[in-house]
Structure 1
Amino acid sequence: MHTSWGLTFDCANPAKLAAFWADALGYVEAEPPDGYESWNAWLKDNGVPKKEWNDAAYLVDPADQGPTLSFLKVAESKTAKNRVHLDLKVGGGRHQSAKKRRSRIEKAVDRLTKAGAKVEREVEQDGNLDHVIMTDPEGNEFCVV
């Protein structure tokens, strides 16, 4: 039996973090539920206090192939290394030439850095760039492979 699943980020600023990951993954903001013109209309109709309207953001894969992403505001900040992280597979796999993989990885790292990510370190294997460990604007680790 297949189980539908999504990934949720606890964060301080859902809109900002969602915008970063939308750019990083090519995702888009989720449409409001059927019958609603906007998320605010849905929130109002469901009795969510107005002060909580910016406490979440939702993204979807426009090709409907990847999991949904939710961003939920929490009071506490990140305190430790992620035990689960995303790998952005931009290099094309190890069957590609090291030069081609490096070029693809460096291009993605440059774009993501401009979007607010930080490089933590580059990891080499056999003298070639294998992947780059980065953090998103709120410090969540991910890799560009």
Structure 2
Amino acid sequence: MSSIKQLQVTFDCAEPERVARFWSEVLGYVVPPPPEGFTTWDDFNRSLPPEDQGSWSVCKDPSGVGPRMYFQRVPEGKAAKNRVHLDVRDGTGLVGEERLAVLEAECARLVALGAVRVQLLRADGVNEFCIAMQDIEGNEFCLD
């Protein structure tokens, strides 16, 4: 039996490069170098047929620990709540008002990048505070 070596998270979206830039800023990720033989991603994109130009983008964890993020253009818009969402873990190990202050500060940074704050999910004795949010194309995620 083989084991999984890597995990990639794939997003369907309308504007792959824009969404990739957003998530790069959220996670501290970087865009990898363009394919061999191309100086820039723009050069690579211009080499593709017009219908394929800008059809996907990627970003990755510069440390190599986190999953690669892949963004692919699809013709349909988002129609319903995500069945899977990301938890951006910024308050790990913190509790109470200290946790809430850290999450609120990060929420403000993400809103400035184009995210939408949906609601604060209050601590309930089992779970700590988290903030439900949406990325720039409406994909739900939690700031946890």
TM-score (norm 2): 0.87
Is this contact kept in 2: 1:40–1:53, CA < 8 A?
no
**Number of the residue aligned with 1:32:** 34
Deviant stretches of 4+, over 4 Å: 40-45
State the shift of 1:100 in Å. 1.5
> 2, 13, 16: which is aligned to 2:15?
13
**Number of the residue aligned with 2:102:** 104
State the shift of 1:44 in Å. 5.8
**Number of the residue aligned with 1:130:** 129
**Number of the residue aligned with 1:142:** 141
CA distance in 2, matches of 1:126, 1:68: 33
SS in 2 for 1:143: strand
Change in CA separation of 1:3 and 1:125 when aligned onto 2, cut-off 3 Å: same
Residue 55 (str. 1) matches residue 55 (str. 2): yes
SS in 1 for 2:25: helix
CA distance in 1, matches of 2:142, 2:16: 21
Higher strand proportion? 1
TM-score (norm 1): 0.87
Structure-to-structure mapping, 1:44-83, within 5 angstroms: 48-83=48-83
Is this contact kept in 1: 2:45–2:54, CA < 8 A?
no
Could you tell me the percent identity over the aligned residues?
Answer: 38
State the shift of 1:3 in Å. 3.0
Count of residues paired in the alignment: 141
CA distance in 1, matches of 2:116, 2:65: 27
State the shift of 1:35 in Å. 4.3
In structure 1, the gaps of 5 or more residues are none
Is this contact kept in 2: 1:124–1:131, CA < 8 A?
yes
User: Which stretch has the larger CA shift, 107-116 or 125-134?
Assistant: 125-134
User: Which stretch has the larger CA shift, 118-127 or 129-138?
Assistant: 118-127
State the shift of 1:5 in Å. 2.2
State the shift of 1:53 in Å. 1.7
Is this contact kept in 2: 1:32–1:38, CA < 8 A?
yes
CA distance in 2, matches of 1:141, 1:104: 20
